[in-house]
Amino acid sequence: MKIIFLGTNGWYDTKTGNTLCVLIETRTEYIILDAGGGFYKIGRYVTGQKPVYLFLSHFHLDHVIGLHTLAKFSFPQGIDVYGPPGLKRFFRQIINKPYTMPFAKLKMDLRLHELNKKNSSPLDVKFKKLRHPVTCYGYRFSLENKIISFCTDTGVCKNLYHLAKGADLLISECAYKSNKEDNNWPHLNPRSASQMAKAAGIKRLALVHFDSNLYLTLKDRKKAEMEARSIFRNTFAAIDDTKIEF
């Protein structure tokens, strides 16, 4: 299994990277996590005809802005898109004039699936609401005997812990610096992310979704990594195009 961090910023693209997008490649499928500014890079890696699944956490622009590049792709297998309720309405509004090419004119099939208690994907995946001002899902995938959890745009909450518990890798947001918290706009910082990781008994923590207005340089991320490692040693701050393998 390969994991490629195509975008690791939060809020907006800067010289430190694109907004959030992560690609997981297994022996049998490609799984894309969020469609921020790094989404345009998926064509570098989706080269075969294995199924492609896109999971959206929520519809804030820094997590979906890359969808305007869908017109450049023509994967013969198409893409199955999963996300919170409202997904279909969102696509009708955004993948349309005047914002981008209309949905019906794309060169490949997009199959939209709103996740709820009555349906899910063919993958072994669990999803729960996280702590954010809008509906935001975190995901927990069982893939090739590994647990990969993806939790972005959240404050500390029980569902975050349940999704992370015992994971081989938790891809966790780290929007704030350690001296910042905001109950009106919940996000994690290096300390809260690493404390939660330690409590949940995960094996490895990847920090992503660094607020571009706070993390101005990659040195800022390195400092966050060191702060997190003082609590949970097996932590790294991801940068764009980081690749790891299991």
CA angle at residue 204 from 201 to 210, to 5 degrees? 110
Distance from C-alpha of 193 to C-alpha of 205, rounded to nearest angstrom: 9
- Does residue 98 have a cis peptide bond before it, meaning omega lies within 30 degrees of 0? yes
Question: Span 51-67, mean pLDDT?
Answer: 98
pLDDT tens digits, 8-38: 999 999 999 999 999 999 999 999 999 999 9
Question: How confident is the model at residue 239, as a pLDDT?
Answer: 98
pLDDT tens digits, 98-124: 999 998 899 999 999 999 876 678 999
CB 36 within 8 A of CB 65: yes
Q: Which domain holds residue 101?
A: 2-245
Question: Span 115-138, mean pLDDT?
Answer: 91
Q: At 206, which CATH number? A: 3.60.15.10
Tell the residue number behind the tokens 């610096």, with chain if given: 177
CA angle at residue 125 from 186 to 229, to 5 degrees? 50
Helix/strand/coil for 103: helix
Q: For the chain, what is the domain count?
A: 1
**What's the whole-number average pLDDT of the chain?**
96
Encoding tokens for residue 230? 């003082």
Tell the residue number behind the tokens 């894309």, with chain if given: 32
Assign 181 a pLDDT band (cuts: 50, 70, 90): confident
